[in-house]
Structures are given as C-alpha cells and as structure tokens.
Structure 1
Amino acid sequence: MPILTVFYIKLFINLGLTLGIFWVISRSDLFAKWQQEKEKSIFAIGFILLRLIPWIAIFLVANEEPRGDIPFFFYKAEAAKAGGFVYRDFWSYHAPLYAYIITIPVWIWHNARAIVLFMVLMESVILWLTYQTYKVKSSRALQLAIIYLMLPAGFMYILVDGQEEVWFWGAALLIWRYTIKHKENYEIGVGLLFALTLLTIKVTFIFLLPAILVVVKKPVKMLIVMAAVGIPAVGFLYWQIGDLFLMPIRHTEQLMTPNLFSTSRPFIELFIHINEKKSTMINWIGLLFTVFIPTYMAFKARRRHISEILPGIFIAVFVCMMIFQASAMGAYLIAYLMAVLFDVIDIKKTWHVAVLLVLNWLTVVQPFVWVYIGQPSYTSFGMFGNISNLFEYALQILNVLCYVWVLRQTYQNVVNPEKLATA
C-alpha cells in the first residue's frame, strides 16, 4: 500500500479515535459506575475493540507488513534466537537483554507480526497496572484507561509500528508501586529494579537516576545495590565483546525532530554553523538540561515521599529529553504518554484535553510530513520560502510548545501541589 494512502488512512482513524475520546469524556458517571461494578469486563472490551481487533484487521486481514522499527527488531530477535551474542553478532541499540526478550513471541510464531502483538500485550499489561495503581485515588481511572487506548499516538506507534518506549513507564511504574508498598527501607528494591531496567530496555533510563537519588533517603545504599548488579554485568560484557557494549550510546548522535534545537536552528545558524556529523556537543548540552531540571524539581520537593512525586519526576525527565535533546524525536512521547494522561491531564478542563489531543495529532502528523518533504534541516530562514517547509516547521514549534506546557504542569504537580489544590 502506498505510504501516502497509509497516511490518509491514519488521519481517518485518528478522527474516529478523537470522536470516541469526546464520547468517553462525556460519560464520566457511567465509567465511574463501571469502575465499581465491572472494571475487568470494560477493560477487556476496550483491549479487544481498540487493540486486538485492529491488529487482526491490519496484519492478518489486510496482510500489511509491520513498519517502523519492527523489521530491525525482527532481525535482532532472529539473531538472538539463533544463539547470537548481542552487539558482537548483531546490531542493537537497546540494553543487552532486550533482543532476547523480544525472541519470546518469535519462538511461538516466527513472524515480525508476532513482535507487534507482543508490544501490544506489554502495553496492555502496563496500562492495567497503571489503572490498578490510580484507581485507589480516582473514580476516573477506568475512564482514563479507555481514553488512553483511543489516543492516536499510542494507537499508531504501538499498535501499528510496535514501538517499545512505553516500557520506560512500565519500569518506572514498578519502582513507584514498590515505594508505595514500602514506605521505609525501599532503596534495595528500587536499586535492583533500576539496575534491571538498564539491562533490559535502554540506557536512556539512566537520565532518571540523579533526580531519584535526590529524593531517596539512602542514596548510597541504592547505588551500592545498583553497582552489585551492574558491575558484574558490564564486566561480563567487556570480557565477551570488549567495548562493543557501548553501541547503544553511539546511536544518540543523529539529529532528529521536533525539539528545541531543531526549531531554533535557523537562529543558531546566524551565528555558528552546525556540522551534523559532529554534533555530539549539542546533545551533551541538551543532556545537562535533561538531567538538571528534573533534579532541581526533585530537590524542591525533597521533603515529600518518593512515592508522591516519582510519576512527575519520570514525566519531567522524558519531556525534558524531548525538548532539549537534539537527537529526540516525536515517537518518544509514547514513553510518558500514559503517565501524563493519568497524572497531569484533568479531563474536566477543556484546555488540558485540547493540549492532549493536539500533541497526539502532532506526534502522528509531523514525523510523516518531515520525512515526506525530505527531512529538511532548517539552516536558514530562506528555506521557509517553500510553503511545505514552513508548514512542517510550524508543526515542530507547536510540538515543542506542547512539551513545554506538559513540563510546566508537571512542575506544578511536583513542587506546588498545594497551589493546584486551591486553584
């Protein structure tokens, strides 16, 4: 199927999903009742209608081939299944255990479509755990879970493209649930879960560490636990493959969109030319802000228990990454979209819902437009004489503004919850 046709179909589906969200928002009382009486049934129906049936329609009935990163994931899964050693025998930009985890569905069905279904099932498990965690304090939790299943970004990037970034929130959720159950002496469990995450998903999760160390009561104890797991793992990798295990870090040098750098580049180029092949320093500068802002938030809220602020700190880390990292792209929204919906968005407020929907639509539309017009880097204002470039650049700006709004709202939730409560 031609890529333009696929895009038009996505827009049509997005419209239907958006209308569905408006209906769900209008039925708060009904969903509050269902949350008390039939939560499992409604959640299962949502999963079947909004994930399982669409997967069957796309990959079995229409017989579409998986897109996005799935072909690369399948390559890794095949190599791992055949007994290959990660980084040495096959390329991987994930943590060492990731390639072996995604072999699970391939053992059952040797097809790339199995990995997409696996991603959908993992997302649904994470959503169920998120719902279970939030329902104790919100009568809207089931309603939010169904809204999440209708959000265009999650629908397209997980159901269609099989992206795995929602696993980041899954890992943070496990850590958060642990701190809820263990109000004291939680450092060993948190350190163990954090170390296992770094071995399982991506090194990017390390961005969360400085902020967490600020709010835990015994940071040294947590670091010792992490070192007890991490040092032997790194030592084993180095013994087997030398420094090839650094492969995931080297993947962060490519410049992507939308972020603060991509939108400010026309202004930057007025003073200094950026060599895209030697852009490591740009990412290092972005990294400073990505780590500093959430850590500052954690410091301001350090008198609160970690279980009260961990979701907000997590959101801040990944939204800062998307704002400040020149290598960040729109698909990373999936990492914290679920957390934003449950922890930041108030569906009773029109502005909140508007930002949520605009951000979701932009995440689907902007990357396609950018690729379709040739992935331009706006190195001069003269490039905006092309109306397509100007349109795509405007989409990038809107994206970044939405990220900034999410960061601002999250900051208020973490640092000034009393102010929000009286607003």
Structure 2
Amino acid sequence: MLVLLLWQTRKTVRIAPSYHTTLFLLSFLCFRIIPFILVYVILDYDTRSDVPMFYDSAVEALKLKVVYREFDTAYSPLFPYLTALPLMVWNSPKAILLLLMLTEGVTLWLTYKLYLPSVDRLRYSDDLLRKIMLYLMLPIPFVLSVLGGQEDILMWLFGAWALLIWRRKRDDLWIGIVLGLGMVVTKAILVLTLIPVFFLVQNRFRYVLGLIIVGLPSLVIMYALAGLEFLEPIQQANDPRTPNLWTILRPALGDIVPLGRKSLNWVGLVSILGLASFVGYAYRRQGRFFDGFIVLWIVTYAFMMIVQQSSLANYAYIFIMPLVFAAISFDKKSHLLLLLAFNFTIVVQPPIWWGMDMPLFTSLADFANGWALTEYLLEIIIVGCLLYIINLFRTLPKVSP
C-alpha cells in the first residue's frame, strides 16, 4: 500500500530538496531503527540467518586470533575484524546486525549522492527521494537487513564509494584501490566485478596498479599468516543451491545437469565473466564509465544468480539498491510490478526451500508434493525476473553526470 501511495503521488506531491536529508533520516528511523528496537530489544528475539556465524567469528577476531589459521570464516579476511568492532560496546550478535543495518543506511545515502549531480535538483531529485523511500519499504532489503542481517550490502558500499571517488578525481587508480579494499573486507565473489571492470576503465594500467597496491600486500600477509587456508571461501562454489537455471532444468533433464560438479562452476564462471566483460567493453567504447559500472554491477550479479549453481536468492541484496536507482521508473507500471514480484518471490522462496530440507529436484515426479511444486514455480519466477532485469539495460537512457 505504501508503494502504491508513492506511485500515485509522484506528480501531485513535490518535496523541496532542503527536506531530503530530514525525510531520509525519518524514513530510515521508521523502516529500520524502530523495527530493530521492536524485534530485538522489546520482543528480545534472537538473530537469525548468518548473524550467529558472524558473531562466532567476530568473537575470535576480538581476541586477535588469526583468521583462517585459528578460526574459520566464509568471508574475506578483514570481515570478522570489522564485525568485531561493535562487540567492544555491546557483546551480542544483535550488535553485528545493527552495524550491518547502519552500513545499509550509509550506502543508501551515498547512492542518493551518486545520482544527485546528474539530475535536475528541482524536479528529478524528488524522484530520488521517493526511490530512497521505495527501497526502504521493499521486502528484499527489509527482510535481509532487519530480519536477516545479510552482509551483501557491503559490496555495493564499495561500489558506490568507488564511483564517488572516480567522479571527483577521474583517476582509474582509485577504482582499483577501493575495489581492492572491497575484496579484503567483503567476500570473494566481488572478483566477478574486478575482472570485467578492467575492460570498462580507460586507463587499465592505473586500475591494475590500484588493485596491486591493495592486493599484493594483502596476499603476502595472508599467506605468511595462514598459508593457503585463505582460499577456503572459494570452496563453497561447489555446493549446489537454489534458485538458478540448473535447478530449474534438472527435473526435466535429470543427470544431464551435473549439479555439484566443478565443471558446472566453470560454465557459470566463464559465462558470467564473458557477459560482464562484454558489457564493460561496450560502455568503454561509448566513454560512459558511470553508466557502465552500474549496469555491469547489476548484470553481473543478476546473471550470476541465473547460471552459478551455488547462488542463493539472498544475493539479490547485492544489486537491489542500484537497481532501484538505475532502472526503476515511477512512470512505468511494468517496472513496479516486476520489482514487487521479484521482491515477493525472493523473500518467500528461501524459507520454503530451507523448511523442506533444501531439496534439489531430480525428476518431474518430485512435484507430487504441493510444497515442492510451489517452491519450483517460485524458482522459475525468480529466474524469469532476473532475465527481465538484465533485458532492462538494453534501452536505459544515459545518466552519466
């Protein structure tokens, strides 16, 4: 209903730019801080999803133990130490969730600032504020932030930061430095952006130099401290999950789809990097780095969810924020309907799948169970929405500042 209200008032109610900061803070208070207080302070619910795992690693990091060697993590080496910081004030998994939620707020404001110079401040900036409100109301970010405490938003924080620095300095060195920092703070799948961006930047030498400035010392330090154990997070790519193209095809094709095998990982990896690199090269030829980076980001991780067998529905959190700002128009009902359908299926499919003990269907006979058929249909809708999202970027107008 709130989303419908935003859409209906888009032309009749205008908000002066001077009120944007206040309304942003009020919106974040209403849709993030108050729900957090209600759920975790007043009702005293425990954190769920990956947050208890974050907490276990953060406790070890707080003791200054060496990551990968003395304790495990599925994330980049600095992530446990980052999540250990709030534990010095409040020793609870809820403190980590609060940190990630506040990080989402910072990222949202940076994304707003990212787009503000490229629009008419007296008109379209009002739409930007509505996009902030729309984002905060959507089920995907609300569930994955307040209820799930997902860390994927950290990846786009570094993406938005890289664009802001590039816009000010126009030096590809800083793109490499910021994305390199993102690699050592967030998670390994950020490499799916690092490689295609090489084909997008104008000065590839400066970009690679930036990556080396951060990456080489990090690799040397990690190898000296933990040997090859720092490659541990990469191993999770072998675990098949849903939804993706392969789990949709397997009931009809059976063992022809080699779920769980490394060969399928290579098919996914090569196709993702191939498509993303093509996108980067195409935008480089047009001299549109700003547009190209955002399109590359969204297309990369949307396509990853389609073709990578280890992808989860939660990965939509990586690109849902730039998607709202870059591709969703309040003047197109089809965009809002797509966005709502995508959000609904993303938050409904995972609990059904986990509740069924994470099945991987092997034949059409598996759908005799109503819940199995429902979960499978949700997988199809999610993949269909992802294909639609990728197709959106074939006709987007230029928005570079």
TM bucket normalised to smaller = over 0.9
Measure how far apart 1:273 and its partner are.
Answer: 6.2
2:9 counterpart residue number? 27
Match of 2:25 among 44, 62, 77: 44
| Alignment counterpart, residue 384 of structure 1, candidates 344, 351, 367 | 367
Q: Would you say how many aligned residue pairs link Structure 1 and Structure 2?
A: 392
1:228 equivalent among 209, 213, 221: 213
Match among 333, 339, 353 for residue 370 of structure 1? 353
Give matches, 1:78-117, under 5 Å: 78-117=59-98
RMSD (Å), alpha carbons: 1.6
- Do residues 145 (structure 1) and 132 (structure 2) align? yes
How far is the alpha carbon of 1:275 from its aligned partner? 5.8
List runs of 5+ in structure 2 lacking aligned partners.
none
Residue 355 (structure 1) aligns with: 338
Kindly state the Cα deviation for residue 368 of structure 1 after the two structures are TM-superposed.
1.0
Contact 1:297–1:411 (CA<8 Å) still a contact in 2? no
Residue of structure 2 aligned with 1:288, choices 270, 275, 281? 270
Q: Runs of 5+ in structure 1 lacking a partner?
A: 1-18
Whether the aligned pair in 1 keeps the contact of 2:36 and 2:146 (CA below 8 Å) is yes
1:210-243 superposed Cα distances (whole Å, 9 cap, x missing partner):
3211121121232123123212211111111110
| Residue 179 (1) aligns with residue 166 (2) | yes
Structure 2 vs 1, CA of residues 236 and 37 (structure 1 numbering), >3 Å: closer, same or farther? closer
Residue 50 of structure 1 aligns with an amino acid whose one-letter code is F
CA deviations 1:18-46 (Å, max 9, x no partner) are: x1111122222466424x23111111110
Question: Which letter maps to 1:299?
Answer: Y
Q: How far 1:268 moved relative to its partner?
A: 3.2
Structure 1 SS opposite 2:33 = helix
Structure 2 counterpart of 1:272, one-letter code: I
1:14 matched residue in structure 2: none
What is the CA deviation profile of residues 368-392 of structure 1, one whole-angstrom value per residue up to 9, with x for unaligned ones? 1111223221111111222221111
Cα deviations by residue, 1:91-146 (Å, 9 ceiling, x for unpaired): 11111111101111111100111111111100000001111222331330001001
Deviation string, structure 1 residues 341-364 (Cα, Å, up to 9, x no partner) = 000111211110001001111111
Q: Which amino acid aligns with 1:20?
A: L
Work out whether residues 58 and 81 of structure 2, in 8 Å CA contact, stay in contact via their aligned partners in 1: yes
- 2:236, 2:310 within 8 Å by CA — same for their partners in 1? no
- Checking the alignment, whether the CA contact within 8 Å between 2:48 and 2:147 is kept in structure 1 is yes
Q: Which shifted more, 218-227 or 345-354? A: 218-227
SS of the residue 1:189 aligns to: helix
In structure 1, the partner of 2:256 is: 272
CA displacement 1:40-60 (0-9 Å, x = unmatched): 111111011110010000001
SS of match in other structure, 1:158: helix
In structure 2, relative to structure 1, the CA distance for the partners of 1:31 and 1:317 (3 Å cut) is farther
User: Is contact 2:276-2:300 (8 Å) kept?
Assistant: yes
TM-score (norm. length: structure 2): 0.94
Contact 1:315–1:410 (8 Å) recurs in 2: no
Provide the C-alpha distance between the structure 2 equivalents of 1:243 and 1:373, rounded to a whole number of angstroms: 36
Is contact 2:244–2:311 with CA below 8 Å preserved after alignment?
yes
Q: Percent identity?
A: 27
Pairing 1:207-356 to 2, within 5 Å after superposition = 207-269=192-254, 272=256, 274=258, 276=260, 279-302=261-284, 303-356=286-339
Structure 1 residue ranges (4+ consecutive) displaced by more than 4 angstroms after TM superposition: none
Question: Following TM superposition, by how much is the alpha carbon of 1:209 offset from its aligned partner in structure 2, in angstroms?
Answer: 2.0
Between the aligned partners of 1:332 and 1:129, the Cα distance in structure 2 is 20
Q: Is the 8 A contact 1:32 1:143 kept in 2?
A: no
Is contact 2:200-2:293 (8 Å) kept? no
- Give me the TM-score of the superposition, normalised by structure 1: 0.89
Indicate if the aligned counterparts of 1:257 and 1:326 stay in contact, CA closer than 8 A: yes
In structure 2, how many angstroms separate the alpha carbons of the residues matched to 1:372 and 1:328?
Answer: 18
**What is the letter of the counterpart of residue 304 of structure 1?**
G
- C-alpha separation between the residues in 2 aligned to 1:311 and 1:32? 27
C-alpha distance in 1, partners of 2:383/2:259?
A: 23
Which residue of structure 1 lines up, in the alignment, with residue 143 of structure 2?
156
SS in 2 for 1:214: coil
SS at match of 1:28: coil
Q: Secondary structure of the equivalent of 1:283? A: helix
Give the whole-Å Cα distance in 1 for the aligned partners of 2:109 and 2:96: 20
Output the CA distance in 2 between the equivalents of 1:32 and 1:320.
36
Does the CA-based 8 Å contact 1:168-1:201 persist in structure 2?
yes
